[in-house]
Amino acid sequence: MEKAQLRRPFFVCNPKAYLYGEESLKLAKKCEELAVKYDFDVIFTAQHVDLAMIARECPHLIVTAQSMESLKPGRGMGHILPEALKAAGVKATFLNHAENPLTINELAKVIDRANELGILTIVCSDEVADTKAIASLHPDCMVCELTSLIGTGKTADESYMVATNEIVKSVSPDIKVLQAAGISTGADVYKAIKSGADATGGTSGIVCAPDPFAKLEEMFEALDKARTDFCK
């Protein structure tokens, strides 16, 4: 099945478990507005129970599950069936986040299932040493972020960003690279794209800001400037 296409640079808004229901939908609609305004591809994650609602209300977003399993139709009480996600309008899934890690064996199985269904895989890696091994599984996108920096408001230094970008692209230039962890300002967004990354995004830097909508505006303006400076 054909997958959604990601144009460089793109943006990820990942509310994790900070938001759900109507509050999650409000943030998604703001991302939808900015996706249209700036003509960016925007990945928006949500709680599994909210994914179908957001997919219906926000057709310009790449609605994304925060996790997926390799389960096949049949037995599997309490687990997440990939076909159900696809039917709900899900176009992508995060995998192997530091808060929900997978073994390499299970990660490979989930990537295979996602490929069967045309679901983009966005796989997280931590240290530079992990990056090549995960890239060898050929996900569609890799999130390079140091676990120690998640939620701190501090980004990785440029050497980490450049090194992980280069490692991923050395395995396959088709794998998109997203630099994350600690992204909380427009300057952080600009820095990530300047490093050579294809995308960036945030969680607490957005949802915990005094005005999340204003913070999104700031980040999208910076992404637009970075597109002009580095992606033409």
The gap between the terminal CA atoms of the chain, to the nearest Å, is: 30
CB atoms within 10 A of CB 171: 17
**What are the residues facing 177 on neighbouring strands?**
142
Q: What is the 3-state secondary structure (H, E, C) of 58-90?
A: CCCCEEEECCCCCCCCCCCCCCCCHHHHHHCCC
Which member of 22, 33, 48, 145 is catalytic? 145
Which member of 79, 97, 99, 217 is catalytic? 97
Q: Which residues contact 130 (CB under 8 A, 6 or more apart)?
A: none
Q: Note if 145 is an active site residue.
A: yes
Residues annotated catalytic, as ranges:
97, 145
